[in-house]
Amino acid sequence: MLYSETVMDHFRHPRNVGIIENADGVGEVGNAKCGDIMKIYLKIDDGQVTDVKFETFGCGSAIASSSMATEMIKGQPVSRLLSLTNKAVVEALNGLPPHKLHCSVLAEEAVKAALKDYYDRNAIPYDPQSLPTTSCESCH
């Protein structure tokens, strides 16, 4: 399967690349063994994601998934981050090849890891089931 134009656009021109100094939440998932590592930085003001950046070491699908996920959550209330799914990222990218779906899972996990970090730093209670710890089980 060829990559969609949307995937190629987000790979060639990724949005929100970089680091946020003094981020309110940082999430890193993946490992060098599986080849994809994603790090998401959140800036949150008054319950809204005012800025989001990412660093991704991985394939084009991983970069495109990270880019799209950041676009989907920027400007959103923090409560909406829990509803971000890898399926929504894949749909927004107009599809990924089956063997690349794990990239969208990592993007979802990275966002949720950053949200968990934000909650932990600010002693905000949350349901641990809604923010599971990541294990890169989706990696091959």
* Residue 103 a catalytic site member: yes
How far apart CA 104 and CA 121 sit, in angstroms, is 26
How far apart CA 116 and CA 14 sit, in angstroms, is 24
Catalytic-role residue among 34, 59, 136, 139: 34
Catalytic-role residue among 59, 103, 136, 139: 103
Coil, strand, or helix at residue 85?
A: coil
Mean pLDDT of successive 10-residue stretches along the chain, which has 140 residues: 91 98 96 85 97 96 97 96 95 95 94 96 90 54
pLDDT of residue 1: 55
